[in-house]
Chain A
Amino acid sequence: MHEALLEIADDCLVLGHRLSEWCGHAPMLEEDLALPNMALDLIGVARGLYARAGEIEGKGRGEDDLAYFRGEREFRNCLLVERPNGDFAATMLRQLYFGAFMEPFWRAAAASTDDVVRGIAGKAAKEVAYHIRHAGEWVIRLGDGTEESAARMAHAVEAHHRYSGELFESSRAARAAEAAGVLPRRSEMRAEWDRVIGMVFVEAGLTVPEGVFMQTGGRAGLHGEDLGHMLAEMQSVARAHPGAVW
Chain B
Amino acid sequence: MYSQGLIGADGRTGETEAFLAAFQARIDAEEKIEPKDAMPEGYRRTLVRQIGQHAHSEIVGMLPEGNWITRAPSLKRKAALLAKVQDEGGHGLYLYSAAETLGVTRDEMTEELLAGKAKYSSIFNYPTLTWADIGTIGWLVDGAAIMNQIPLCRCSFGPYARAMIRICKEESFHQRQGYEIMLTLCRGTEAQKAMAQDALDRWWWPSLMMFGPHDAESSHTEQSMAWKIKRFSNDELRQKFIDATVPQADYLGLKVPDPAMRWDEALNGGKGGYRHGAIDWDEFWRVVKGEGVMNRDRIAARKKAWEDGAWVREAALAHAAKRAARKVAAE
Residues of A within 8 A of B (CB): 13, 17, 20-21, 23-33, 36-37, 39-40, 43-44, 46-47, 50, 63-64, 67-68, 87-88, 140-142, 144-146, 148-149, 152, 233-234, 236-238, 241, 244-246
Contact = CB atoms under 8 A, between A and B. Distances in A.
B275 interface: no
A23 B63 CA distance: 8
Interface string B209-239: 0000000000000000000000000000000
Contacts of B131: 237, 246
B298 to A, nearest CB: 10
Nearest to B317: A145
Interface string B41-82: 000000000000000000100110010011111111111001
A47 B70 contact: no
A44 B316 contact: no
B305 A20 contact: no
Given A244-B189, A245-B187, 9 more contacts: A23-B82, A32-B62, A36-B83, A36-B86, A68-B74, A141-B315, A142-B319, A146-B315, A244-B192
B301 interface: yes
8 contacts: A25-B301, A28-B312, A29-B89, A29-B106, A31-B309, A43-B75, A233-B71, A246-B185
Contacts, number: 142
Contacts of B86: 23, 32-33, 36-37, 40
A246 B184 contact: yes
Given A24-B63, A67-B75, A233-B70, A29 B93 contact: yes
B317 to A, nearest CB: 8
Interface residues of B, number: 50
A64 B70 CA distance: 14
B191 interface: yes
A23 B85 contact: yes
Nearest to B310: A27
A142 B312 contact: yes
Contact of B188 (A43, A63, A233, A245): A245
Nearest to B185: A246
Given A33-B90, A241-B73, A145 B62 contact: no
Nearest to B60: A24
B255 interface: no
Contacts of A32: 62, 86, 89
Contacts of A145: 314-316, 318-319
A108 to B, nearest CB: 26
